[in-house]
A = this chain, B = another copy of it.
Amino acid sequence: MCSLPVPREPLRRVAVTGGTHGNEMSGVYLARHWLHAPAELQRASFSAVPVLANPAATSSCRRYVDHDLNRTFTSSFLKLTETVKIGVPHSRLHSSRPTPDDPYELQYPELSCQVFLYQRSGEESYNLDSVAKNGLGLELGPQPQGVLRADIFSRMRTLVATVLDFIELFNQGTAFPAFEMEAYRPVGVVDFPRTEAGNLAGTVHPQLQDRDFQPLQPGAPIFQMFSGEDLLYEGESTVYPVFINEAAYYEKGVAFVQTEKFTFTVPAMPALTPAPSPAS
């Protein structure tokens, strides 16, 4: 099950990126703030470098200029080692995106994040955080495009500080016990109802809007058509929609992503030993 290694030595280099999408203002302005005040990211045991990830898109306050940057980080594109990247790129999804194979990313439950397992083992990732040896994407929201909301900004800042504190504790030799947690994994994608020309024929139903990670029961309304009728969820089992009515996903043909909830065990992380044996 474990395809990603549990680190056996301290992490010494951390990159904290924001603004992969230029119209997601919390990440943009946190990165800019840290570039002016990098001391906020520093801890005793590692160096942390803030990065404004997509200056061109940021300048024009658009998600991207030519291609969606957060879809281009394939393994063939770039390989990095020795670096933890904490990406702060996104809007709207109330979640972090760890994999259950990487317990580094799961040890801060006190901030009440939903965990979205968006990639199965063996599939290639394309997100920014995938190019790090130990990557972690944080997504907060919903936040409207082009708007810097103080509440989202503050929560993201606290969340990043908590991740950095965790790395510091790990580096200092803290052991973390195993625990169980709930997470969500995608089981399908639902597009908007559309006209023959491809325009919307309706939009997300008010009873589904703003209810990311809440259960959707068979028979519940999911779309309100401009004609007035409701479209119902015709699946056979309860799902948990996420990315509901995400501005950036209209072009991707996604009105929401269906997920299922499951429980898994995060393995214990033993304390670092001063000189781990390569054969252990």
Contacts and interface: CB of A to CB of B under 8 A. Distances in A.
A103 B194 CA distance: 40
Interface of A: prevailing SS: loop
B204 A245 contact: no
Contacts of A142: 144
A226 interface: yes
A205 interface: yes
User: In the assembly, how many copies of this chain are there?
Assistant: 2
A202 to B, nearest CB: 8
Assign chain A's interface to a size class: 20 to 34
A196 to B, nearest CB: 11
A33 interface: yes
B61 A151 contact: no
A241 to B, nearest CB: 15
Interface of A: 29, 32-33, 36-37, 61-62, 142, 144-151, 153-154, 195, 199-200, 203-206, 209, 224, 226, 245-248, 250-251
